[in-house]
């Protein structure tokens, strides 16, 4: 069986960023189990998995446009530190949750300069060329329920 629409793929993976640092990995855990073609993976990765078979491995390099997008300066906001009363001490790299017009959003503190705090609403992996070392651990056909619900059921799935 080949990975394709309406198959459930178990994927072992290691994700590295531009600098070669491991950002995420299934090593030491269960593989990632997902419904192929349902948009769970970034498009540039899912496309490369299409047609692979159980046991096959490859390295996939995904450009930012097909991953988490390009970094946008418009998503940097400078705010006043005193606007964050009651928060724990702010440090660069800290994640904060913001209330925006579009609902809650996560931001990272990218710079602190006196009372000026720069918040970065870009995805942490935006602008990164991502390298995935992947191996197909298993493939099975999705059940009618899974296709209907758009997600995986079963021991390694979850249900909502």
Q: Report the interface residues with Zn ion, using CB under 5 A.
A: 149, 159
- Minimum Å distance from CB 20 to Zn ion? 38
- Minimum Å distance from CB 4 to Zn ion? 20
User: Count of CB atoms within 10 A of residue 116's CB?
Assistant: 11
Between 29 and 159, name the residue whose CB sits nearer to Zn ion: 159
Residue that has been written with the tokens 């970094």 in this structure: 71
User: Facing residues of 13 across strands?
Assistant: 134
User: Count of CB atoms within 10 A of residue 49's CB?
Assistant: 25
Between 56 and 143, name the residue whose CB sits nearer to Zn ion: 143
Between 2 and 153, name the residue whose CB sits nearer to Zn ion: 153
- Minimum Å distance from CB 159 to Zn ion? 5
User: Facing residues of 22 across strands?
Assistant: 16
Beta strands in the chain (DSSP E): 7-16, 22-25, 32-35, 57-62, 76-80, 95-100, 103-113, 116-120, 130-141
Between 86 and 155, name the residue whose CB sits nearer to Zn ion: 155
- Minimum Å distance from CB 153 to Zn ion? 6
């Amino acid at each position: 069986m080949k990975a394709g629409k309406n198959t459930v793929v178990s994927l072992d993976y290691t994700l590295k960023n531009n600098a070669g640092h491991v950002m995420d990995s299934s090593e030491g855990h269960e593989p990632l189990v997902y419904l192929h073609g349902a948009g769970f993976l970034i498009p540039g990765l899912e496309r490369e998995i299409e047609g692979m078979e159980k046991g096959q491995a490859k390295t996939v390099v995904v450009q930012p446009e097909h991953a988490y997008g390009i970094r946008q300066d418009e998503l940097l906001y400078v705010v006043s530190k005193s606007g964050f009363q009651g928060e724990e001490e702010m440090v660069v790299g800290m994640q904060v949750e913001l209330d925006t017009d579009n609902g809650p959003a996560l931001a990272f503190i990218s710079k602190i300069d006196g009372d000026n705090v720069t918040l970065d609403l870009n995805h942490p992996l935006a602008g990164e060329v991502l390298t995935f070392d992947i191996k197909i651990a298993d493939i099975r056909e999705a059940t009618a329920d899974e296709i209907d619900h758009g997600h995986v059921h079963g021991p390694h799935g979850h249900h909502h």
